[in-house]
Structure 1
Amino acid sequence: MAATLDHVQVAIPAGGEDAARRFYGGVIGLSEIPKPAEQAGRGGCWFAIGALQLHIGVDPDFRPATKAHVAIAVDDLTALRSAVEAAGHPVRADIPLGSRERFFTEDEHGNRVEIVAA
């Protein structure tokens, strides 16, 4: 059986959609995509990452993910690091993955996010 990754979900607290849009759309530069009608009433928002999707979902018992994380590969790591810092998010360098530089940050709700050079 062949399998592929379709989407990843990150949790946010109720009412946290605008903050998620500021970070994932504004700072990271992902394009928001419409949620299907049957999902729209649940809150949250969805973003495209290439052929995959990042779903931001409301969790009534929200706790930030401080170890589990999504990793987003970008073409210009230096530029995105500057944008993340300018938006006031922490930047923590880490050892490269092979030859690929990377850093960790947090979204507006304290969820860990890895940014890695494509």
Structure 2
Amino acid sequence: MMIVAIDHVQLAMPAGEEAAAQAFYEGLLGLPRVPKPPHLEARGGCWFESNTVKIHLGVEDPFRPARKAHPALLVSDLAALAERLRANGVAVRDDEPLEGYDRVYVDDPFGNRIELMEPLELRS
């Protein structure tokens, strides 16, 4: 037996903020919102999934954002994504260099930390 992959990452969000989650994760990051299974829909929250990335947001009460723990998302054209985020009022923060990557941090609408990383080998 061995672990072969991560199926998804779950982050917490406050109740009733699905529209803000969709505006950020789908609208700005480009992860399509997908329907939750009907038996989970009543709990609130929302799921965003592509072929390679799955981020699930679940309602937590009381809500407290993840300020240190975070998903790190691999991206292409980090500069363009960072500019789109800034243009939409999202603070983009640089951090210590990490060999082989350009990277920045952002917070989702609820204060959860998200790392965006572009492998230098993907740059043209």
Report deviation, 1:93.
0.7
The structure with the larger Rg is 2
Q: Secondary structure at the match of 2:62?
A: coil
Q: What is residue 2 of structure 2 aligned with on the other side?
A: 2
- Write the letter of the residue equivalent to 1:109: F
How many residues of Structure 1 are paired with residues of Structure 2 in the alignment?
Answer: 118
Q: CA deviation at 1:42?
A: 0.8
State how far apart, in whole Å, the 2-side matches of 1:51 and 1:81 are.
21
Q: CA RMSD in A?
A: 1.2
Q: Distance in 1 between matches of 2:51 and 2:96?
A: 25
Distance 1:2 1:39 in 2: 28
Output the TM-score relative to the length of structure 2: 0.89
Aligned to 2:65: 64
Cα distance in 2 for residues equivalent to 1:37 and 1:45:
12
What is the alpha-carbon distance in structure 1 between the residues aligned to residue 68 and residue 51 of structure 2? 24
Post-superposition offset of 1:64? 1.2
Contact 1:95 1:101 in 2 (8 A): no
Cα distance in structure 2, aligned partners of 1:2 and 1:68: 24
In structure 1, runs of 5+ residues without a counterpart are none
TM normalised by structure 1 equals 0.93
> 1:108 — aligned with what?
109
Q: Which amino acid aligns with 1:30?
A: L
Matches within 5 A, 1:15-94: 15-94=16-95
What is the CA distance between 1:76 and its match in structure 2?
1.1
